[in-house]
Amino acid sequence: MSSTMMSWVPSSDIAYLLSLQAVRERSQIVFAAAKEGRLHSFEYDEQRMSAVADFVISVIDRDFGPDRFASIPPHGRWQHFEVGGVARVDSLLDQWTKEGCDKTELTRRLIDLFFVSVLLDAGAGDTWKFVEPGSGQVYNRSEGIAVASLYMFKSGDFSQETGAPKVDAAGLVNLTDDAFSQGFQITPENPLIGVSSRVKLLNSVGDSLLQLKDIVGPTGRPGNLVDYLTKLSGDAKTIDYEVLWSTLQQILVPSWPADRTRIEGFPLGDAWPLTVLSSNAKDGREADTIQPFHKLTQWLGYSLMVPFVRVLGFQVVNAQLGTGLPEYRNGGLFVDLGALRLKPELAKEHTPSDQDLPAFSASSDTVIEWRALTVALLDELYKIISAHFAKLGVELSMAQMLEAGTWKGGRELAAKFRPQTKSSPIEILGDGTLF
């Protein structure tokens, strides 16, 4: 763990639970229980993993084979802005360059945009949609949120400077439900899950940014992370992913909803008690029962790396510390292909009489177990898939597998098996601030 994080946490237990290492290591404890048949909510079928790998490989081959594997982008927010085949980010960069922005300012602006867009990118629900001004194209789910946030960004809705395509602390603190609803075209007929929760999250992030002027400058601009991380890099032109991670945790951990898990009064964010971990707890230590995920922060970390690489020409070190993302597309892949099966008694108990799918709270033991298994199984899947492509002379990163294979494959399976809603095979009842 970097010295940046250690300076603002009260104990080694908390520092560990906020680390990327803990996400992976705790998920492996849950995976060991899965192989021994000791899970509380799921049954694991190891024999089905080869079928999962074959499916994911087929998706990657279909879209990038036989000679475009090197062009697979890493998993990140950039691609979502290109929905409909429109290069919206490139258009912005061209426009800003003509206005006189240098590469550093271009990167600052992309970091601003990606920062708010990712934090808003939790499940939108099955009905919300966004009609793009001008083109009239209709987008939903993650890409719809991306495009909607882009238009709010361009209008200056996240900045105290009227009409400025920037983000600053005051703009986030002063964001209202009404302004957000207008920007996202929300009506009773076009509802979005967790409007108030999303706005309160951005308000809280604004408050946090105001306390970190040494990192994000006097206005609390997320884009000033560029200057902070560049200074730390010196002449090396590298971004240490672990340093980026600890910096993001420092900004975001105080911002998550107050009802999240705490130890010693310290908030842990997206980290939750899990029953299957209790048997491994030493002397009843609460910290040993917690499974961390930090999914939105991981999604943000993956996304923010991309402008540093594409615009500034930086390299990233320690990127392998990032895990697969524990959300419903990656998790749904393993359920839809039979590697994971919700125990029948739980499925029956939690399927409402007027619905076809079981539903659980996002903080339920069942969903936490599912998410932990998703992290571990993505690691297992990556071993298989990276070895397959290595034989072809292709070095595939985890971020590329997520982008071109598991996330995309999970979405395609949802559309195949649940064409009306394209939903997860297990409904997750959340507030719009988790995943």
Res 430 pLDDT > 90: no
- Sign, Cα dihedral of 221, 226, 227, 233: positive
Q: Place 282 in a pLDDT band, splitting at 50, 70 and 90.
A: confident
The pLDDT value recorded for residue 10 is 54
Alpha carbon distance 15, 20 (integer Å): 10
- 66 prior amide bond cis, ω within 30: yes
The pLDDT value recorded for residue 7 is 46
Alpha helix (H) ranges present in 260-406? 275-278, 295-310, 328-336, 344-349, 365-390, 398-401
Mean pLDDT of the chain: 94
Which tens digits make up the pLDDT trace of 239-248? 999 999 999 9
Q: Cβ contacts of residue 359 below 8 Å, gap of 6+? A: 350, 351, 352, 426, 427, 428, 429
> Who has greater pLDDT, 94 or 1?
94
Mean pLDDT of 335-348: 98
Q: Place 135 in a pLDDT band, splitting at 50, 70 and 90.
A: very high
Look up residue 336 and give its amino acid.
Answer: D
Res 375 pLDDT > 70: yes
Res 131 pLDDT > 50: yes
Q: Place 1 in a pLDDT band, splitting at 50, 70 and 90.
A: very low
The pLDDT value recorded for residue 264 is 85
Res 372 pLDDT > 80: yes
Res 249 pLDDT > 80: yes
The pLDDT value recorded for residue 432 is 79
Q: Place 435 in a pLDDT band, splitting at 50, 70 and 90.
A: confident
Which tens digits make up the pLDDT trace of 3-46? 344 345 557 999 999 999 999 999 999 999 999 999 999 999 99
The pLDDT value recorded for residue 280 is 77
Mean pLDDT of 261-274: 94
Mean pLDDT of 92-115: 98
% of the chain with per-residue pLDDT over 90: 90
Task: Tell me which residue of 243, 256, 311, 299 sits closest to 115, measured CA to CA.
Answer: 299
Burial class (CB in 10 A: 0-12, 13-18, 19+), 223: buried
Burial class (CB in 10 A: 0-12, 13-18, 19+), 348: exposed
Which tens digits make up the pLDDT trace of 207-229? 999 999 999 999 999 999 999 99
Mean pLDDT check: name the lowest of 35-44, 284-293, 370-379.
284-293
Which tens digits make up the pLDDT trace of 161-214? 988 899 999 999 999 999 999 999 999 999 999 999 999 999 999 999 999 999
Q: Give the burial string for 62-96 (b: 16+ CB within 10 Å, else e).
A: eebeeeebeebebbbbbbbbbbeeeebbeebbeeb
Mean pLDDT of 120-133: 91
Main-chain dihedrals φ then ψ at residue 339, nearest 5 degrees: -75, -30
The pLDDT value recorded for residue 281 is 77
